[in-house]
Amino acid sequence: MKLPKDPRTFANGQFAEGLPHACHSSEQYGSSSPYARCRGEPIFWWFDTEENPISSSFADTTFTDPALIRNFCIIAHIDHGKSTLADRMLQLTGVIDDRSMRAQYLDRMDIERERGITIKAQNVRLPWKMGEQEHVLHLIDTPGHVDFTYEVSRALEACEGAVLLVDAAQGIEAQTLANLYLALEKDLTIIPVLNKIDLPAADPDRYAAEIAHIIGCEADDVLRVSGKTGAGVKELLDEVVKLVPAPVGDADGPARAMIFDSVYDAYRGVVTYVRVVDGRITPREKVTMMSTGSTHELVEVGIVSPDPKPTQGLGVGEVGYLITGVKDVRQSKVGDTVTSARKGATEPLTGYREPRPMVYSGLYPVDGSDYPVLRDALEKLQLNDAALTYEPETSVALGFGFRCGFLGLLHMEITRERLEREFDLDLISTSPNVVYRVEMDDGAEHIVTNPSYWPEGKARDVFEPMVKCTIISPSEFIGSIMELCQSRRGELGGMDYLSETRVELRYTIPMAEIIFDFFDILKSRTRGYASLDYEEIGEQAADLVKVDILLQGEAVDAFSAIVHRAAAGAYGNKMTTRLKDLIPRQQYEIPIQAAIGAKIIARENIRAIRKDVLAKCYGGDISRKRKLLEKQKAGKKRMKTIGRVDVPQEAFVAALSTDSSADSKKK
């Protein structure tokens, strides 16, 4: 058969099979020909058929009429199938063919794919034809975990509608509610959807009624889809076009675009994802970041569909990326406004705030010589994660390391895992703690991120961060959840039954009480059925004290902790008992004490090793034996006054490491 110059000239729906081998094709059609890629085996070309649509050129052309654009995001709890549903949308709209498809297509990081969670918000531009009219859909796939709520709120700012996705086998969870309230605050159109209807355990009627009760719609309005099989996804996309309002903006005004994400690319520098609100943005023009005032030239402007494609620019309501050649992700801050350097906007878009660390922890290399490697690794990680903060820190016990600030415990765990995996480091992480504000009697104010920074002298007031916790659980576990929250100084704020069998509890709890093991205990008490969400609600004065651990009268900085006065005794007993088992015995007795200031609240003794000095005396005068015993007693007394207790590295690691790191060491 005679082959045309370009495979696209085949009749609609036709494909070429068994093309000539490479030895013929390069001579016959030229090395640049699309056929010349063949390497001696048959190749297939995909064409525009109804079964296998290829992406429409309409979606690849920017400056689209805003009336034909729909910006929406998917909000859900972890593991309710956001990324799988996004995969089906990519396939159905034809931007990815079946060959290129892989599960969780939008989750690019290895750790995201491995844990099955979304960490970075992703976006993609999709073509969709409803009736005879072409539309452009911008889908933003958001993280579901509480630590990344700020990323979710920025993504919501870039949308006019949200698909509220709920697992048909599990129902509404705490994080779903939190993100739903965020979306309602922003006045987004909510499209309720039940996912995973193909599961044997699915109970769509029950959970549709639950969703209807919460958002005030009819149970029949809740769409039912399966991200796995693709059932109902076409109807969902039609519903998005019908219900989500088109973006509104001033096309002739000064350019204003909101940054909702930025990532670092090793070759191209920072790639900034934006949603254009007013005006237009074109390549080679100079733009200003309004929060920092820095000016950059746009090297490239493009769209993601689902891979980056350069375009002539972006217009009102469009979502795309900008590349300026900047090498530091902190130059393009999430939530900031981008405007033209010439005749730019004077008012930024609302809602920008700096991401603020909520949890601090020390990271130390097990091998001290890895310190420079850890420093470089943190620098590289910060290029991609603007919320991560760190500063050098020295510990008498653990040597040189860094005090790192994180958004929450998952953020801390993922950062540590990425450091160990991507940079081949072996790390010790100290127990996480929160930020305290201490007001002294003389009026001075101190911000404390580490117990060793606790100020000397009398503190007038100590303030600790508080969080509002939302717990959703089967109603049979109410008693044990209340008992747990009260033991952590929690105050009940309210309780609502979502259905006959599921209840929502709202508590105000000090953040220090939930950052360590609260979630693990909650899960074990509810057999894994409870879900937790928390948000910071300011600070509150509390009776907090610093507990020092003394070894032979000397405080060891690494073991100090800031705890509530009522829990100080328990912490002191726990640490003294643990250290008694970990520190090797010496020739003399070692007291281990826990103290608040000068007051001792707990004590354990490590008993001395006794050398038998009478072993060589076979009988004889008792005074000879007494003389040897007196000499030994005097020697031990002298050792006790001048001797230092050396705590082995393993003891520090075991006493200080968080449970997860200690467990990984055991393995």
The answer to whether the annotation marks 81 as part of a ligand binding site is yes
Residue indicated by tokens 């739903």 = 180
User: How many C-beta neighbours within 10 Å does residue 408 have?
Assistant: 21
Separation CA 42–CA 255 (nearest Å): 50
Q: To which H or E segment does residue 364 belong?
A: strand 359-365
Q: Which long-range CB contacts under 8 A does 128-131 form with residues at least 24 apart?
A: 128/93, 128/237, 128/241, 129/56, 130/237, 130/238, 130/241, 130/242
Measured at the alpha carbon of residue 162, what is the angle toward residues 157 and 168, in degrees to the nearest 5?
145
User: Is 311 within any annotated ligand binding site?
Assistant: no
Which helix or strand (DSSP H or E) is residue 83 part of?
helix 82-93
336, 341, 342, 345 alpha-carbon torsion, rounded to 10°: 10
Tokens 């998917």 correspond to what residue?
74
Question: β-strands 189-195, 161-167: how paired?
Answer: parallel
Closest C-alpha to 71, from 282, 347, 320, 272: 320
Q: DSSP assignment of 27-39, as one string?
A: HHH-TTSGGGG--
Other CB atoms within 10 Å distance of the CB of residue 233: 21
**In 3D, which of 468, 490, 454, 469 has the Cα closest to residue 538?**
468
Asked if residue 482 lies in contact with residue 473, where contact means CB atoms within 8 angstroms, the answer is no
C-alpha span between 232 and 240 (Å, rounded)? 13
640 is in an annotated binding site: no
d(CA 428, CA 376): 17
- Known binding residue 186? Answer is no
Closest CA to 105 of 122, 80, 128: 122
Residues 342, 399 contacting (CB under 8 angstroms): no
- Scanning the structure block, which residue is given the tokens 């495979």? 7
Listed residue (496, 385, 428) closest to 649, CA to CA = 428
Q: Distance (Å, rounded) from C-alpha 107 to C-alpha 110?
A: 8
Residue 79 assigned ligand-binding role: yes
Q: 164-185: buried (b, 16+ CB within 10 Å) or exposed (e) per residue?
A: bbbbbbbbbbbbbbbbbebbee
With residue 435 as reference, give the H or E element that holds it.
none
The annotation status of 198 as a binding-site residue, yes or no, is: yes
83 is in an annotated binding site: yes
Q: Does the annotation place 71 within a ligand binding site?
A: no
Contact 288, 332 (CB under 8 A): no
User: Any idea what DSSP says for residue 218?
Assistant: -
Please check if 658 is assigned to a binding site: no
Q: How far is CA 161 from the centre of its chain?
A: 23
Q: How far is CA 566 from CA 542, 547, 570, 602, 662, in A?
A: 11, 12, 8, 14, 27
Distance CA 372, CA 204 (A): 54
Q: How far apart are CA 304 and CA 321, in angstroms?
A: 7
With residue 552 as reference, give the H or E element that holds it: none
The Cα-based distances of 488 to 479, 516, 594 in angstroms read: 15, 11, 22
**232 CB-contact burial (10 Å; exposed 0-12 / middle 13-18 / buried 19+):** buried
Tell whether residue 205 is among the known ligand binding residues.
no
Residues annotated within the binding site are: 79-84, 195-198
Task: Show binding-site residues for GTP.
Answer: 79-84, 195-198
